[in-house]
Structure 1
Amino acid sequence: MPDANAREPSDLAKLVGTRLGNYRLERLVGRGRMGAVYLAQDEALLRPTAVKVLAWSAAEARGHDPVKWFLAEARLVARINHPRVVQIYGAARQGDRCYIAMEYVAGASAEALVAECGALPPARATDLLVQAAAALEAAHRCGVVHRDVKPANLLIGPEGSVKLGDFGMALGSAGIRTAHAHLRVGTPYYTAPEIWRGEAATPASDLYSLGATYFQLLTGRPPYPAHDVAAVEQAHLGAAVPDPRELVPGLPAACAALAMRALAKSPRERPASAEALGKEARRVLRELAAAPPPPPEPARAAAPPRATAAPVRTAPRPAAGAATGRTGGRGEGVMTLLATISSLPEVKGAVLGTSAGAFVDTAGEADGEAVAAVMGFMWTALSEAGEQLGLGALGRISLSGATGACVATAEPDGTVLSALVEPAGSLVAVEKVLDDALSRNGA
């Protein structure tokens, strides 16, 4: 659906190569309602930076001062200091150009991920939801309502970490109490019913938008995908909340219930806060990890003797050496541990990766989606437990079930080494390998 507010000024591309303050603009990476975003090089600090240049007319701003609104975005985001929110480095004006310098996220948006891969595995989609809810929790705690939560504004870094960006339509606590809160902004596919009715934006409106985003991550399409804005509006206002299992029959019921609760027509029927939504999503992740694995697919006629499980991570595989994290940053490499553990007869699958999914799967018997669910659970559980892992420390968590067990180690950079073990009683074999590594590292 075209964005009626967006424009593509012919001179935007001409800014490539120019310098604004310390920032040399290298290439245009995106356009939004208020401006164009460039990848730039900070020539003082020698780091890549995202620079957003104002490209919004007074007419598009509906009579409001574009510069004032643009700078308000920078000031609002500067209030929020959280690892799941794109950080602001500064805002300035040079000649007739206003710009905001901000953290550059090397990766793709959730929108691009779904466009490339279709519906995501439930654990992967729910992991993204957990992280996005944490970003909204931080924003709401600072009195900021985003008003344009959607897959395109969830930026996924190379290790799977999510950052919420584009606060161009956001409101602070002062704006919420003014007429600005009643302006109908946002992207139609993800806009809450109360906004369509002309009511003020609230944190509950953001939760609805995040629910619509989660629906799309699970199914590959938004909940109300009509091509006509009026039809989309009427669906948000009056259509029954869609069950994502109608599009993805095998979707776990817990995922469907979570999406539908966030999409409730009444704000009072949605989770009470972003924090509450995040807790529900973490519970769903735990349920996904505890669920029995799906039945194996029928054997193929010409299966290779040793196969790598289907990749569960869309980012490019790291170059040789890039993913060979070390236990606690010194001593024996995690790749060595991976090889040692995968050679144990009890291990049905071993992976090295992050909360985003697997870098390496060393055993053909491991199901890629099951591995993703295990790793999502492990990463969430370690985070929820508040593990503070310093250099030289190796955190470990184990989960035993009726048919098997899994064990994971976590490093400060988020790297997770996870192994699926059958039967559960054989977990001790993997733990002994990890204990030996701890001893050799002096941890």
Structure 2
Amino acid sequence: MQGRAAKPKSVCVVGGGVVGGFVAYLLAREGVEVSLLERNRLGSGASGASAGNVQTLSNGFQGFHKELGQESLGLYRRLLPSIKDESRVDPMDHEVRYLYAAMDEEQATAIQAEELQLVEDGMKAQWIDGQRARELEPRLSPRLLGGLLHSDCIQMDGTRLVNALGRAAQERGAYVAGSEVAGLELDGDRVTGVRRVDGTVLRADMVVTAMGAWTGPAISDWLGVSLPILPQSLQKIHLLTGDQPLECAVRWDGINMVSRRDGLTHIGSKRDGFGFDAHPTEEGRRWLLEHAATVFPGLEARVAEAWAGCAVATPEAFPVLGPLEGHQGICVATPSSNGFLLAPALAEILTSFLMKGEEHPLMEEMLPGRAVMRARGLTDPYGSAHETR
């Protein structure tokens, strides 16, 4: 990794999603002069369209994501009280239990094989059979063989959380604006600020690009650097289930179904392939309802709203985080498709690197240059992202 420059006194964060919000908030807590720029509204992109889940097993049971996810869960629990207190915004967070459902013997065997290791890793998870699962949530399918019940998860409203982060950062002196960035200001290979579409320039010692799926095209346009960061369109729906929220959230075949505090039940996501053409479709709504009926065949509900957004696809679903090789004064902060879960950990890692020169043990694996190398070494670097889920 290239050496860390002097501790920045001013940082411009481009992108007002959950990662950008956490970066801005944590840097503001360190006394940095922070600017947070979002071309639309805070949380208007993938963060707002997410399920709002903090579930550390959401990307299967992979070691890297599991370890980083556990760090993030701890940070959420530590930071949420102060974020809510400082912002006076309720992100509608609540504790949930997640059932990783097995609908056939192959799924049951695979899930049960992971249970012992998860418990040894400190996860609050245990296998329960189909009868026990239906005692917990009677509307579950009689075909359900069982599942892994994970009891250490949080769910919240993504848009409200990002707005809480922005407000809390403002309370600590940050400048937050709905402003689109047109390019970067350069002095040789050093980035010295951003240029907005209205022509005004905002100077900063460090620029952090936290633009999610838009990071790849932006870095290419502004600096001529190609990063393996692609947009992937996804769809979700919200259901009204009357006054009977689900007794436990359920995940199967990559689909999440979870009840929120506002009375809506989230189902998602259907992944529609690469590109920025994300919009709700009738086919997507039907597909999600059919998948919900697999696990909840008798659920009485109606569709309240449909959403679409662009998630991030990166090689092997690794986040891209850290200084951009060949340039000074710029860092990338792009999550994998689990951005909502990993956001506070990524922000904490980057903040510690910028302010203290500390390198997290996993940071080397997330550097932009490593993402490029990873993409070159794989036949299908976005393989998991191709799955329709």
So what's the TM-score if we normalise by structure 1?
Answer: 0.22
Higher relative contact order (CA 8 A, sep 6+): 2
Higher alpha-carbon Rg: 1
Length-normalised TM-score, structure 2? 0.24
Write 1 or 2 for the structure with the bigger share of strand: 2
